[in-house]
Structures are given as structure tokens and as C-alpha cells.
Amino acid sequence: MYVIGGDIAEGLPHGDFTSLDVVEQLSGEQVAQWHGNIHPEQAGDLMAAMGKRYNLAWLVPERNNNGLTTVTRLVNLDYKRLYVENVVEHPPARPRKRYGFVTSSKTKPLMINQMVAELDDGTHGIKCKETFGEMLTFKHHDDGKLGAIEGAWDDRVLSMALASYARRVLPMPAIETRTPSHRPAGAHKSVKKGNWKGHT
């Protein structure tokens, strides 16, 4: 089973990038990444296509801001494995479902701390050198926020952190399903079209 984390941007030529990371759920191994400029609704189409390629992977798009458009697209596509949270309303009522991952001042440190712990113990599974490069400019700022220094990017850090965090809280697959035949053909190869990258 695979998990795909998505940091979603607005899709402007000179804005932030959208980054999608494919991670093997049991091992945490990064097997592919897509990074580039794309409209949030198209990002939903792309995530759905990637999810189908990787054996109906769990999709974990960030819900914040532009990500809501991506989440709405995935709901409309009726994608079957979409990250969902149960939100309890106040006053107490029946919990409602909220699709996508909400990155906040509470959840972002959980994601990043989990990634730091995996880096410390060598279980991070990261294969992409550009992801490591973004980590070098990612810091805890004086105002308490976590993110890239001015002029740098952190899209790859966040998409990988989303996938790494979510893979531990989503339902786990049975161990016996982990066979080489379950990895899609070509998953170990770099694909030169666009900004898709497979990792060995």
C-alpha cells in the first residue's frame, strides 16, 4: 500500500510549487515525487491518476487555502481512499467528515517532529536530493513558525512530511500484501516527462 502526500500551491508561474510524494506505507520509502506548477483542480486529477497507478494509494492533500479546491475535485471524482478527519462540532453534535489534512500551528509541528525523528534514527526513506536540499533551508523562525528561509522553498519538505505522518495514522495494510509485484511497473525508473521522478 502507498500513501501520497500533497502540498498544494496556487499554480502561478512565479509562485509556490505543488509537490506530491509517493511513500510506501509500511516502510516509509519514498518511491516517486511530482513537483511543478499546476492549477489546484488539475492537482486533484493528477493525484487521482497517481493514486490509481500506485494500487489505489491513500491520498493526503493539504486542505488549507488552494488545497480545498484539490480536495473538492477528489471528492467529486469519488476517489475511494482520501484522507478524512472526523470533526466534533460545538455544541456537541454528530461528528462531520472533513476531507484532506489541515496544516495548522498544532499539526505542522507534529509532522515536522515526526520527520526529524525519522531522520535521527535513519528510517526516513527519503531518496530525493532536492528534498534534502530544501531541508537545509527549513527552520523554526523567531515568530514560532516553521518554514523555509526567505527566498527558499519548502514544498517538498511539506509533501514528504504529510505522507510520512499520515502513513502512521491511516489503516495499515496486511503484511502479506507486500510483494514485489505490488510495485507498479517502472516505479524504480526516472520518468523524463514533466517533473515526475521515480526513486530507487
Is the peptide bond prior to 173 cis by the omega test (within 30 degrees of 0)?
no
Q: Specify if 188 maps to a domain.
A: no
Please, what sign has the CA dihedral across residues 114, 117, 121, 127?
Answer: positive
Q: Note whether residue 197 is domain-resident.
A: no
Q: Which domain holds residue 8?
A: 2-176
- Contact, 135 vs 149, CB < 8 A? no
The confidence score (pLDDT) of residue 152 equals: 75
The tens place of each residue's pLDDT in the chain, 200 residues long, gives: 999 999 999 877 777 899 999 999 999 999 999 999 999 999 999 999 999 999 999 999 999 999 999 999 999 999 999 999 877 767 666 777 889 999 888 888 899 999 989 999 988 999 999 999 998 888 777 777 777 778 777 899 999 999 999 999 898 876 544 444 455 544 433 333 346 666 64
Is position 77 within any domain? yes
- Asked whether residue 191 is assigned to any structural domain, the reply reads no
What's residue 177's pLDDT?
A: 46
Question: Which CATH number does the domain housing residue 140 bear?
Answer: 3.30.420.240
CA distance 56 to 173: 12
Alpha-carbon gap, residue 135 to 156, rounded angstroms: 9
- pTM for this prediction: 0.82
Q: Determine the pLDDT at residue 141.
A: 76
Question: Which pLDDT belongs to residue 56?
Answer: 96
pLDDT of residue 194: 44
Provide the CB-side half-sphere exposure for 35 (13 A, CA): 18
Count of structural domains within the chain: 1
Q: What is the pLDDT of residue 139?
A: 78
31 within a domain of the structure (yes/no): yes
Q: What is the pLDDT of residue 51?
A: 97
Torsion of CA 179, 21, 121, 183, to 10 degrees: 10
Question: Does residue 192 lie in a domain region?
Answer: no
Instruction: Examine residue 186 and state whether it is found in any structural domain, yes or no.
Output: no
